[in-house]
Amino acid sequence: MFTRRSFIKSSALITAGSLINPVSMFAQNDKIARLGGSKRMQLTFRPFDAQLIHPFTVSGYTRTTTPIVLTEIAYDGITGYGEAAMPPYLGESQASVIAFLQKVNLQQFKNPFELDDILAYVDQIAINNTAAKASVDIALHDLVGKLIGQPWHAIWGYTAAKAPVTTFTIGIDTEDVIRQKTKEAAPYKILKVKLGESEIADKMIITTVRSVTDKPIRVDANQGWKDKHYALKMIEWLSDRNVEFVEQPLPKYDLDDMAWLTEQSPLPTIADESCQRLEDIPRLKGVFDGINIKLMKCTGMREANKMISMGETFGMKLMIGCMTETSCAISAAAQLAPKMDYADLDGNLLIANDCFSGMKIIDGKITLNDRSGIGVKPLNI
Ligand code: MG
């Protein structure tokens, strides 16, 4: 029987439209490089399970692994790396991502520099599938950056030193675990704390964090507060406890209530679940103070960069966030970090089996390297 486990264990090399025996993607691409490389883009992909260091709970569910699909695009002896990360609530899975990627035919394009046409083609293959689309976008950006010989933050003209500090996330947990995790977060200058449970539980979490540290907190309620008056009462309570802003306090479609809450709120509000793609931003103006941009929601680096421009135009605060991802997708997101007011790029720090090295956090700050493309190297694990 073709179980999910055996499927993952095989880590089979898969190309669009075919299944090839378990050959390492890296060996395959070495072979292409030795032959001088093909002048057609070749997309390959394989499933990968990210093991979480601690079980992670946010409002609604707990998990110990995150399903990922790793992608590569080879062209002219150069390989670009990408990734799709699929937290369960977004509705994608390794199977759905692989089914999508098998439909992608990059060989019809002669030139990887035609990002606009290639990614417009990928976007119209099917609706949704945003993580699958991001995995192509990231690998293509990595490839093109390597062909140009520059990192993407430099290609876009962004100043690496302007990248902000990142938060480190404390999930919903028992009092003892929250105290322990807050102590472990000592290297990070700002904490992101997940709320959205009962009033007693939410206040216990904040009080417990505050028993360990006075450092600034950013709260994410993950749509967990169902009533605008209750949400305002919670935000007022939080505003006396060195909290900087509140992310997604109300359910994602409650935009009228959200506009009222933002008007009344003593703290800025940031849209996460309410803001998936570029087209969502106009209706969020005046509803939230800012937007949380994530590559897995918005189909990748190209659209994320457009979201920056639109958010700036509307005078909104900008935040870059992530799912639980390897250093591949985190480093891709970090290329945009110099433009951000806030960053929450800690997803790679939550997993035990990261298969890339890339962007580093130094003194709590996102620190970009000078490697071309998205700035990553695969690790042999
Ligand atoms: Mg969030």
Q: Per-residue DSSP letters for 240-260?
A: TTTEEEEE--S-TT-HHHHHH
Rounded to an integer, the average pLDDT of 350-366 is: 95
Q: How many CA within 13 A on the CB side of residue 14? A: 24
* Beta strand pairing call for 14-15 and 18-19: antiparallel
Over 90: is that where the pLDDT of 331 sits? yes
Mean pLDDT of all residues in 194-218: 97
Q: Distance (Å, rounded) from C-alpha 297 to C-alpha 273?
A: 9
Q: What's the CA-to-centroid distance between 290 and ligand 1, angstroms? A: 12
Q: Identify the pLDDT of residue 116.
A: 97
Lowest mean pLDDT among 99-113, 168-182, 326-340: 168-182
CA of 342 to the centre of ligand 1 (A): 12
Q: What is the pLDDT of residue 59?
A: 58
Q: Where are the domains of the chain?
A: 4-152, 155-378
Assigned architecture for domain 4-152: 2-Layer Sandwich (3.30)
Q: Are strands 190-194 and 217-220 parallel, antiparallel or unpaired?
A: parallel
pLDDT (0 to 100) of residue 135: 98
Distance 248 CA to ligand 1 centre (A): 7
Q: Tell the CATH topology of 155-378.
A: TIM Barrel (3.20.20)
Q: How far is the CA of 311 from the centre of ligand 1 (A)?
A: 17
- pLDDT, residue 381, reads 56
Query: How many whole angstroms from 79 Cα to the centroid of ligand 1?
Result: 32
The pLDDT of residue 117: 98
Distance in angstroms (rounded) separating the CA atoms of residues 144 and 113: 6
275 C-alpha vs ligand 1 centroid, how far in Å? Answer: 10
What's the CA gap between 101 and 135, in Å, rounded?
9
What mean pLDDT is reported for the chain?
90
Phi, then psi, of 246 in degrees rounded to 5 = -125, 125
Of the listed ranges 3-17, 26-40, 244-258, 309-323, the least confidently predicted one is 3-17
CB 170 within 8 A of CB 221: no
Residue 273 pLDDT class (50, 70, 90 cuts) = very high
Report the pLDDT value the prediction gives residue 162, as an integer from 0 to 100.
Answer: 97
User: Does residue 19 surpass a pLDDT of 60?
Assistant: no
Residue ranges with CB less than 5 Å from ion ligand 1: 220, 247, 272
The C-alpha atoms of residue 265 and residue 258 are separated, in whole angstroms, by 10
Cα–Cα distance measured from residue 323 to residue 230, given in angstroms and rounded to the nearest whole number: 28
pLDDT at 372: 98
The rounded Å distance from CA 222 to ligand 1 centre is 6
pLDDT at 4: 39
Q: How far is the CA of 65 from the centre of ligand 1 (A)?
A: 18
CA distances from 101 to 5, 201, 285, 295, 302 (A): 20, 42, 34, 17, 18
Residue 116, SS3 per DSSP: helix
* Mean pLDDT calculated for residue range 91-115: 96
Residue 208, pLDDT above cutoff 60: yes
- pLDDT of res. 62: 77
Residue 84 has pLDDT above 50, yes or no: yes
How far is ligand 1, taken at its centre, from the CA of residue 317, in Å? 15
Q: Could you tell me if 378 and 355 are in contact, meaning their C-beta atoms sit under 8 angstroms apart?
A: yes
Please report, to the nearest 10 degrees, the dihedral formed by the alpha carbons of residues 91, 95, 101, 102 taken in order: -140
pLDDT > 90? residue 266: yes
- Does residue 45 carry a pLDDT above 60? yes
What distances in angstroms separate CA 183 from CA 192, 193, 218, 241, 303, one per listed residue? 14, 14, 17, 18, 37
Q: Quote the ligand 1 centre to 298 CA distance (angstroms).
A: 14
Q: Does the pLDDT at position 60 exceed 80?
A: no
Say yes or no to pLDDT of 338 above 80: yes
pLDDT 10s digits, 132-190: 999 999 999 999 999 999 999 999 999 999 999 999 999 888 999 999 999 999 999 99
> What's the mean pLDDT in 267-280?
98
CA 321 – ligand 1 centroid, Å: 8
How many angstroms does the Cα of residue 161 sit away from the middle of ligand 1? Answer: 25
- Helix locations, the chain, DSSP H: 4-10, 25-34, 94-101, 115-124, 130-148, 152-155, 175-184, 199-212, 228-239, 255-264, 281-284, 295-298, 301-313, 327-334
- The answer to whether 4-152 and 155-378 have equal CATH topology is no
CB distance 208 to 178 below 8 Å: yes
Q: What are phi and psi of 365, to 5 degrees?
A: -100, 140
